[in-house]
Each structure stands twice: as C-alpha cells, then as structure tokens.
Amino acid sequence: SGFNLVFDSEQMNLMFLWKGEFASSDNGRFSMRGRDRVQFAPGIPFHRLPDGDALWPYKRKTDYLFPGDHGYQYRGYFLDATKRPTFMYEYGELKIEDFFMDGPHGFTRTLTFVAESATAFQFRAATAAKIAKKGNGQFQVDRLELRSSQDAEVRQAELQELLIPLELPAGKSTLTLEYRW
C-alpha cells in the first residue's frame, strides 16, 4: 500500500509515518525514503501525570535507565502471516500488544492491553504545533488526521499534546487509532 512506519523499541513508541519507498541502509545508517513524513515526539507512550502542568517524560542525554525507570520493558515482537509485526511490551503490571495494519489511506493501530487489576493513565497519541478537535473522536494534528476509539483531550505544553485518558478494567481491552495523511 506504500505506507511505512518506524517503531522505537527502546522507548516503545511510534516515531515516524511516511508514504512511498521504504528505506535504505548504508554502513549501518537507516535512511527513510519516500515522502510525506510525519514525526512523533520522543518519549514513552503511557504515563500517569501527577498534575496538568507536569511535563511528559523523555530520555535525557545521561538518563541511562529510561524508560525502565518508568516501568517499561520491551518484550520483542512476532509476525503475522503477511509479516506485519506486533510489538510487545510492558508498562508496570500492564501487558501491551501494539499492531499496525496498513490500508488504502494510512494505518489502523490496535493497542491490546491485559491488566491484572483496574488501572488508569494517559496515552500521548500525538504532539503538534496545532491540534484541532473535529468531533466524533477525530483530530487534525498538523497535516495528520487521527481518529481514536476513545475520547481524547488537547493539552497545551511545549507543543500541544493529544492525550487519551485510559481507565482500563482488569482483563483484556483495546484502543484503536486511525492515522491518515
């Protein structure tokens, strides 16, 4: 379908989306090819913000324990029959499977959570200079259209952040996002 992504297994986060050619590798350097790149902010995807003014955690130059010091553990990935990866990681007691399905207009992302007990936290779905709510779970994030199966809120920080408050029950639950650009 001509859609590509980069998932950062160190921070367990989506980093880039783009259209067209995949990438080239030269002397160990990865270079995205193609066009219409969308970049996501570095940092972890989930966090429990202590208050509305708290900064979202990100890796600093000498922060060698990040993101493990926030309860994250990468658990690898597996491939489906068409070689699409499902990334597996943990956030505290929560087990997460993160799957991207490409379609005619972009990606559908399905996050599957397995919680030992009920838990609540925020998911930072995107950051941008300007995020506009279009209604019905749809947001315009610069040139990216993002639709969420759960309601979200826009928070003003250094950039605007699209935060999805998650209150998960014990057991299995999912969150679905659609990315179009």
pLDDT at 177: 97
pLDDT at 83: 92
pLDDT at 1: 62
pLDDT at 179: 97
Instruction: Work out the average pLDDT over 42-71.
Output: 89
pLDDT tens, residue by residue, 86-129? 999 999 999 999 999 999 899 999 999 999 999 999 999 999 99
Cβ neighbors of 64 (< 8 A, separation 6 or more) are none
pLDDT at 60 exceeding the cut of 90: no
pLDDT tens, residue by residue, 128-168? 999 999 988 999 999 999 999 999 999 987 789 999 999 99
- Judge if pTM exceeds 0.85: yes
pLDDT at 31: 79
pLDDT at 35 exceeding the cut of 90: no
2 pLDDT tier (thresholds 50, 70, 90)? confident
pLDDT at 172 exceeding the cut of 70: yes
Mean pLDDT, the chain, integer: 92
Chain Cα centroid distance, residue 161: 12
pLDDT tens, residue by residue, 6-19? 999 999 999 999 99
Q: How far apart are the first and last CA of the chain?
A: 14
What does the DSSP assignment read for 56-123? PP---TT-TTTTGGGTEEEEEEEE-TT--EEEEEEETTEEEEEEEEE-SSEEEEEEEEEESS-EEEEE
pLDDT at 26: 79
